[in-house]
Structure 1
Amino acid sequence: MVTATTDARSVAETVTDPELPMLTLADLGVLRDVTEEDGRVVVTITPTYSGCPAMDAMRADLIRALRAAGHERVEVRTVLHPPWSTDWISAAGRRRLAEAGIAPPGAAPRRADGPIPLTLGPTVRTVRCPRCGSADTEETSAFGATACKALRRCRACLEPFEHVKEI
Protein backbone atom coordinates (compact mmCIF):
# COMPACT_ATOMS: atom_id res chain seq x y z
CA MET A 1 0.00 0.00 0.00
CA VAL A 2 1.37 3.41 -0.96
CA THR A 3 0.85 6.07 1.69
CA ALA A 4 1.04 9.82 1.22
CA THR A 5 4.37 9.85 3.05
CA THR A 6 5.81 7.05 0.90
CA ASP A 7 4.61 8.85 -2.20
CA ALA A 8 6.09 12.14 -0.96
CA ARG A 9 9.42 10.46 -0.25
CA SER A 10 9.54 8.91 -3.72
CA VAL A 11 8.81 12.33 -5.25
CA ALA A 12 11.43 14.11 -3.10
CA GLU A 13 14.01 11.46 -4.02
CA THR A 14 13.74 12.45 -7.70
CA VAL A 15 14.63 16.12 -7.18
CA THR A 16 18.08 16.88 -8.59
CA ASP A 17 20.82 19.05 -7.17
CA PRO A 18 20.93 22.47 -8.91
CA GLU A 19 24.74 22.47 -9.09
CA LEU A 20 25.27 18.77 -9.85
CA PRO A 21 22.17 17.89 -11.90
CA MET A 22 23.35 14.33 -12.53
CA LEU A 23 22.66 13.70 -8.81
CA THR A 24 19.42 13.67 -6.91
CA LEU A 25 19.34 15.26 -3.47
CA ALA A 26 19.01 11.69 -2.17
CA ASP A 27 22.16 10.60 -4.09
CA LEU A 28 24.01 13.59 -2.67
CA GLY A 29 22.91 12.73 0.87
CA VAL A 30 21.33 16.15 1.37
CA LEU A 31 17.79 14.72 1.62
CA ARG A 32 17.55 13.59 5.24
CA ASP A 33 13.91 12.80 5.90
CA VAL A 34 10.38 13.06 4.53
CA THR A 35 7.49 12.83 7.00
CA GLU A 36 3.88 13.86 7.32
CA GLU A 37 2.88 16.15 10.19
CA ASP A 38 -0.59 17.61 10.71
CA GLY A 39 -1.59 17.11 7.09
CA ARG A 40 1.55 18.58 5.56
CA VAL A 41 4.66 17.01 4.07
CA VAL A 42 7.82 17.95 5.95
CA VAL A 43 11.11 17.51 4.12
CA THR A 44 14.37 17.77 6.02
CA ILE A 45 17.59 18.66 4.20
CA THR A 46 21.17 19.38 5.25
CA PRO A 47 23.37 21.80 3.28
CA THR A 48 26.69 20.56 1.97
CA TYR A 49 28.27 23.49 3.82
CA SER A 50 27.00 26.50 5.72
CA GLY A 51 26.09 29.30 3.38
CA CYS A 52 25.54 26.99 0.40
CA PRO A 53 23.89 29.22 -2.22
CA ALA A 54 22.00 26.27 -3.73
CA MET A 55 19.78 25.79 -0.64
CA ASP A 56 17.08 28.20 -1.86
CA ALA A 57 16.92 26.41 -5.21
CA MET A 58 16.76 23.01 -3.47
CA ARG A 59 13.87 24.18 -1.28
CA ALA A 60 11.98 25.65 -4.23
CA ASP A 61 12.52 22.52 -6.37
CA LEU A 62 11.31 20.22 -3.56
CA ILE A 63 8.20 22.32 -2.96
CA ARG A 64 7.44 22.55 -6.69
CA ALA A 65 7.84 18.76 -7.23
CA LEU A 66 5.76 17.82 -4.21
CA ARG A 67 2.97 20.26 -5.05
CA ALA A 68 2.92 19.00 -8.64
CA ALA A 69 2.45 15.49 -7.18
CA GLY A 70 -0.61 16.67 -5.25
CA HIS A 71 0.91 17.58 -1.89
CA GLU A 72 -0.53 21.04 -1.25
CA ARG A 73 1.07 21.73 2.14
CA VAL A 74 4.86 21.35 2.05
CA GLU A 75 7.46 22.54 4.53
CA VAL A 76 11.21 22.22 3.97
CA ARG A 77 13.36 22.28 7.10
CA THR A 78 17.11 22.68 7.25
CA VAL A 79 19.12 20.79 9.85
CA LEU A 80 22.82 21.37 10.47
CA HIS A 81 23.56 18.49 12.83
CA PRO A 82 25.13 16.21 12.08
CA PRO A 83 26.97 18.22 9.43
CA TRP A 84 26.87 16.86 5.90
CA SER A 85 29.83 14.80 4.73
CA THR A 86 30.87 13.67 1.27
CA ASP A 87 30.71 10.17 2.78
CA TRP A 88 26.91 10.54 2.48
CA ILE A 89 27.06 10.50 -1.33
CA SER A 90 25.58 7.19 -2.46
CA ALA A 91 27.46 4.62 -4.55
CA ALA A 92 25.10 5.41 -7.44
CA GLY A 93 25.83 9.12 -6.98
CA ARG A 94 29.58 8.51 -7.06
CA ARG A 95 29.16 6.47 -10.24
CA ARG A 96 27.05 9.23 -11.84
CA LEU A 97 29.66 11.85 -10.97
CA ALA A 98 32.41 9.80 -12.65
CA GLU A 99 30.19 9.16 -15.69
CA ALA A 100 29.73 12.94 -15.97
CA GLY A 101 33.51 13.47 -15.93
CA ILE A 102 33.67 14.67 -12.29
CA ALA A 103 35.96 12.80 -9.93
CA PRO A 104 33.97 11.68 -6.89
CA PRO A 105 35.40 12.40 -3.45
CA GLY A 106 37.46 9.90 -1.53
CA ALA A 107 36.81 9.17 2.12
CA ALA A 108 36.28 12.29 4.21
CA PRO A 109 39.06 13.14 6.65
CA ARG A 110 38.43 11.73 10.11
CA ARG A 111 39.92 11.89 13.52
CA ALA A 112 38.48 9.70 16.27
CA ASP A 113 39.49 11.92 19.18
CA GLY A 114 38.17 15.28 18.02
CA PRO A 115 38.12 17.85 15.24
CA ILE A 116 40.25 17.54 12.16
CA PRO A 117 43.37 19.66 12.65
CA LEU A 118 43.89 22.67 10.44
CA THR A 119 46.62 22.06 7.89
CA LEU A 120 48.34 25.08 6.42
CA GLY A 121 49.93 24.33 3.13
CA PRO A 122 49.12 22.04 0.23
CA THR A 123 47.15 18.89 0.82
CA VAL A 124 48.45 15.94 -1.15
CA ARG A 125 45.74 13.57 -2.30
CA THR A 126 45.44 11.01 -5.03
CA VAL A 127 42.51 11.69 -7.32
CA ARG A 128 41.89 9.36 -10.24
CA CYS A 129 40.98 10.82 -13.60
CA PRO A 130 37.30 10.08 -14.29
CA ARG A 131 38.07 9.74 -18.00
CA CYS A 132 41.07 7.40 -18.17
CA GLY A 133 41.44 6.22 -14.56
CA SER A 134 45.02 7.43 -14.13
CA ALA A 135 46.13 8.46 -10.64
CA ASP A 136 48.69 10.82 -12.19
CA THR A 137 46.66 14.01 -11.78
CA GLU A 138 47.36 17.49 -10.46
CA GLU A 139 45.26 20.20 -8.91
CA THR A 140 45.20 23.33 -11.04
CA SER A 141 42.90 25.31 -8.72
CA ALA A 142 41.49 24.59 -5.27
CA PHE A 143 38.30 26.32 -6.38
CA GLY A 144 36.04 25.19 -9.21
CA ALA A 145 32.68 26.32 -10.48
CA THR A 146 31.30 25.75 -6.97
CA ALA A 147 33.00 25.87 -3.57
CA CYS A 148 32.52 22.09 -3.29
CA LYS A 149 34.78 21.34 -6.26
CA ALA A 150 38.42 21.77 -7.26
CA LEU A 151 39.88 21.84 -10.78
CA ARG A 152 42.37 19.15 -11.77
CA ARG A 153 44.22 17.94 -14.85
CA CYS A 154 45.23 14.43 -15.80
CA ARG A 155 48.89 14.13 -16.75
CA ALA A 156 48.19 10.89 -18.67
CA CYS A 157 45.34 11.93 -20.98
CA LEU A 158 45.85 15.69 -20.46
CA GLU A 159 42.13 16.26 -19.89
CA PRO A 160 40.94 18.77 -17.30
CA PHE A 161 38.25 17.69 -14.85
CA GLU A 162 36.50 18.70 -11.65
CA HIS A 163 36.85 16.90 -8.33
CA VAL A 164 34.27 16.98 -5.54
CA LYS A 165 36.30 17.87 -2.43
CA GLU A 166 36.22 15.60 0.58
CA ILE A 167 34.40 17.18 3.50
Structure 2
Amino acid sequence: MPAADHRTAEALDRARVAAARVTDPEMPMLTLVDLGVLRDVAIEDGRVVTTITPTYSGCPAMATMRDDLQRELQDAGFEGAEVRVSLTPAWTSDWITEEGRKALKGAGISPPGQAPRRTGPVALTLMPTKRALTCTLCGSANVKLSSEFGPTACKAMYQCLDCLEPFQHVKEI
Protein backbone atom coordinates (compact mmCIF):
# COMPACT_ATOMS: atom_id res chain seq x y z
CA MET A 1 0.00 0.00 0.00
CA PRO A 2 1.46 3.40 -0.97
CA ALA A 3 2.27 5.76 1.93
CA ALA A 4 -0.50 8.21 0.96
CA ASP A 5 -3.11 5.43 0.96
CA HIS A 6 -1.83 4.22 4.33
CA ARG A 7 -2.13 7.74 5.79
CA THR A 8 -5.65 8.06 4.39
CA ALA A 9 -6.65 4.70 5.91
CA GLU A 10 -5.15 5.73 9.28
CA ALA A 11 -6.95 9.09 9.14
CA LEU A 12 -10.23 7.36 8.29
CA ASP A 13 -9.82 4.98 11.24
CA ARG A 14 -9.10 7.91 13.59
CA ALA A 15 -12.11 9.82 12.24
CA ARG A 16 -14.38 6.80 12.76
CA VAL A 17 -13.16 6.41 16.34
CA ALA A 18 -13.74 10.12 17.02
CA ALA A 19 -17.22 10.07 15.45
CA ALA A 20 -18.12 6.95 17.45
CA ARG A 21 -17.59 8.89 20.71
CA VAL A 22 -20.42 11.35 20.03
CA THR A 23 -23.54 10.71 22.11
CA ASP A 24 -27.18 11.52 21.52
CA PRO A 25 -28.03 14.76 23.40
CA GLU A 26 -31.47 13.42 24.43
CA MET A 27 -30.32 9.92 25.39
CA PRO A 28 -26.65 10.28 26.37
CA MET A 29 -26.31 6.57 27.15
CA LEU A 30 -26.35 6.07 23.35
CA THR A 31 -23.69 7.02 20.86
CA LEU A 32 -24.76 8.10 17.39
CA VAL A 33 -23.50 4.69 16.26
CA ASP A 34 -25.68 2.90 18.87
CA LEU A 35 -28.68 4.94 17.77
CA GLY A 36 -28.03 4.17 14.10
CA VAL A 37 -27.91 7.86 13.21
CA LEU A 38 -24.26 7.93 12.09
CA ARG A 39 -24.47 6.52 8.59
CA ASP A 40 -21.03 7.07 7.10
CA VAL A 41 -17.55 8.42 7.76
CA ALA A 42 -15.46 8.99 4.66
CA ILE A 43 -12.57 11.03 3.35
CA GLU A 44 -13.34 13.08 0.26
CA ASP A 45 -10.76 15.35 -1.35
CA GLY A 46 -8.56 15.07 1.72
CA ARG A 47 -11.16 16.00 4.33
CA VAL A 48 -13.48 14.03 6.59
CA VAL A 49 -17.12 13.90 5.58
CA THR A 50 -19.70 12.26 7.85
CA THR A 51 -23.35 11.53 7.14
CA ILE A 52 -26.10 11.41 9.74
CA THR A 53 -29.82 10.69 9.41
CA PRO A 54 -32.43 12.18 11.76
CA THR A 55 -34.58 9.83 13.78
CA TYR A 56 -37.58 11.69 12.43
CA SER A 57 -38.23 14.76 10.33
CA GLY A 58 -37.86 17.86 12.46
CA CYS A 59 -35.90 16.16 15.27
CA PRO A 60 -34.72 19.08 17.46
CA ALA A 61 -31.58 17.18 18.49
CA MET A 62 -30.15 17.09 14.95
CA ALA A 63 -28.45 20.49 15.19
CA THR A 64 -26.77 19.47 18.44
CA MET A 65 -25.75 16.08 16.99
CA ARG A 66 -24.24 17.82 13.98
CA ASP A 67 -22.40 20.38 16.11
CA ASP A 68 -21.13 17.76 18.57
CA LEU A 69 -19.92 15.55 15.72
CA GLN A 70 -18.15 18.44 14.02
CA ARG A 71 -16.55 19.51 17.33
CA GLU A 72 -15.38 15.96 18.14
CA LEU A 73 -13.79 15.63 14.70
CA GLN A 74 -12.16 19.04 15.00
CA ASP A 75 -10.77 18.12 18.44
CA ALA A 76 -9.36 14.95 16.87
CA GLY A 77 -7.44 17.09 14.37
CA PHE A 78 -9.85 17.10 11.43
CA GLU A 79 -10.23 20.80 10.67
CA GLY A 80 -12.97 21.54 8.16
CA ALA A 81 -14.77 18.24 8.66
CA GLU A 82 -18.17 18.26 7.02
CA VAL A 83 -21.35 16.78 8.48
CA ARG A 84 -24.05 15.97 5.94
CA VAL A 85 -27.65 15.19 6.77
CA SER A 86 -29.31 12.52 4.65
CA LEU A 87 -33.05 11.92 4.77
CA THR A 88 -32.98 8.76 2.65
CA PRO A 89 -33.35 6.06 3.47
CA ALA A 90 -35.45 7.20 6.39
CA TRP A 91 -34.19 6.18 9.82
CA THR A 92 -35.98 3.35 11.58
CA SER A 93 -35.78 2.25 15.20
CA ASP A 94 -34.56 -1.10 13.84
CA TRP A 95 -31.20 0.64 13.28
CA ILE A 96 -30.57 0.85 17.03
CA THR A 97 -27.78 -1.62 17.76
CA GLU A 98 -28.02 -4.44 20.30
CA GLU A 99 -25.53 -2.49 22.45
CA GLY A 100 -27.81 0.52 22.19
CA ARG A 101 -30.86 -1.50 23.21
CA LYS A 102 -28.96 -2.85 26.23
CA ALA A 103 -27.84 0.67 27.16
CA LEU A 104 -31.43 1.94 26.99
CA LYS A 105 -32.68 -0.90 29.15
CA GLY A 106 -29.81 -0.36 31.60
CA ALA A 107 -30.87 3.28 31.91
CA GLY A 108 -34.46 2.27 32.68
CA ILE A 109 -35.80 3.12 29.22
CA SER A 110 -37.75 0.47 27.36
CA PRO A 111 -36.12 -0.13 23.96
CA PRO A 112 -38.31 -0.24 20.86
CA GLY A 113 -39.65 -3.45 19.42
CA GLN A 114 -39.49 -4.16 15.72
CA ALA A 115 -40.58 -1.21 13.59
CA PRO A 116 -43.87 -1.66 11.75
CA ARG A 117 -43.58 -2.82 8.15
CA ARG A 118 -45.53 -0.58 5.83
CA THR A 119 -46.35 -0.68 2.17
CA GLY A 120 -48.37 2.12 0.71
CA PRO A 121 -50.05 4.92 2.64
CA VAL A 122 -49.96 5.02 6.45
CA ALA A 123 -53.44 5.00 7.92
CA LEU A 124 -54.24 7.80 10.35
CA THR A 125 -55.41 6.46 13.69
CA LEU A 126 -56.32 8.50 16.72
CA MET A 127 -55.96 5.63 19.17
CA PRO A 128 -52.72 4.88 21.06
CA THR A 129 -50.34 2.45 19.42
CA LYS A 130 -50.47 -1.09 20.85
CA ARG A 131 -47.00 -2.20 21.89
CA ALA A 132 -45.73 -5.40 23.46
CA LEU A 133 -43.30 -4.30 26.17
CA THR A 134 -42.33 -5.01 29.74
CA CYS A 135 -41.51 -2.96 32.81
CA THR A 136 -37.85 -1.98 32.87
CA LEU A 137 -37.70 -2.51 36.64
CA CYS A 138 -39.55 -5.77 37.36
CA GLY A 139 -40.05 -7.23 33.86
CA SER A 140 -43.84 -7.45 34.14
CA ALA A 141 -45.90 -7.21 30.96
CA ASN A 142 -48.77 -5.76 33.04
CA VAL A 143 -48.19 -2.17 31.89
CA LYS A 144 -50.37 0.70 30.75
CA LEU A 145 -49.77 3.69 28.53
CA SER A 146 -49.72 6.91 30.56
CA SER A 147 -48.99 9.27 27.68
CA GLU A 148 -48.12 8.81 24.02
CA PHE A 149 -45.79 11.78 24.50
CA GLY A 150 -42.81 11.55 26.84
CA PRO A 151 -39.96 13.95 27.59
CA THR A 152 -39.01 13.80 23.92
CA ALA A 153 -41.24 13.22 20.89
CA CYS A 154 -39.63 9.84 20.22
CA LYS A 155 -40.67 8.41 23.60
CA ALA A 156 -43.97 7.41 25.25
CA MET A 157 -44.65 7.10 28.98
CA TYR A 158 -45.84 3.86 30.60
CA GLN A 159 -46.51 2.65 34.12
CA CYS A 160 -46.14 -0.86 35.46
CA LEU A 161 -49.35 -1.99 37.15
CA ASP A 162 -47.46 -4.51 39.32
CA CYS A 163 -44.60 -2.46 40.80
CA LEU A 164 -46.18 0.94 39.92
CA GLU A 165 -42.91 2.17 38.39
CA PRO A 166 -43.29 4.75 35.60
CA PHE A 167 -40.92 4.33 32.65
CA GLN A 168 -40.18 5.69 29.20
CA HIS A 169 -40.41 3.69 25.98
CA VAL A 170 -38.63 4.56 22.74
CA LYS A 171 -41.30 4.46 20.05
CA GLU A 172 -41.04 2.14 17.08
CA ILE A 173 -40.60 4.14 13.90
Please tell me the TM-score bracket, short chain as reference. over 0.9
Q: Unpaired runs of 5+ in structure 2?
A: 1-5
CA distance in 1, matches of 2:115, 2:130: 14
Report how far residue 74 of structure 1 moved.
Answer: 0.5
Aligned residues: 166
Q: Within the alignment, does 1:31 sit opposite 2:24 as a pair? A: no
1:152 aligns with one of 155, 158, 163: 158
Deviations 1:67-119 (A, max 9, x none): 111111210000000100000000000000000000000000103x4344333
Q: Unpaired runs of 5+ in structure 1?
A: none
Tell me the residue number matched to 2:18.
Answer: 11
Question: TM-score by structure 2 length?
Answer: 0.92
Tell me the residue number matched to 2:68.
Answer: 61
Q: Within the alignment, does 1:93 sit opposite 2:100 as a pair? A: yes
Tell me the residue number matched to 1:114.
Answer: 120
Whether the aligned pair in 2 keeps the contact of 1:16 and 1:22 (CA below 8 Å) is yes
CA distance in 2, matches of 1:44, 1:124: 33
Q: Within the alignment, does 1:133 sit opposite 2:126 as a pair? A: no
Whether the aligned pair in 1 keeps the contact of 2:128 and 2:148 (CA below 8 Å) is no
Q: Greater share of helix residues, 1 or 2?
A: 2
* Partner amino acid, structure 1, of 2:142: D
Displacement over 3 Å in runs of 4+: none
CA distance in 2, matches of 1:60, 1:124: 36
Which segment is superposed worse, 115-124 or 51-60?
115-124
Max radius of gyration: which structure? 2
Report how far residue 122 of structure 1 moved.
Answer: 2.8
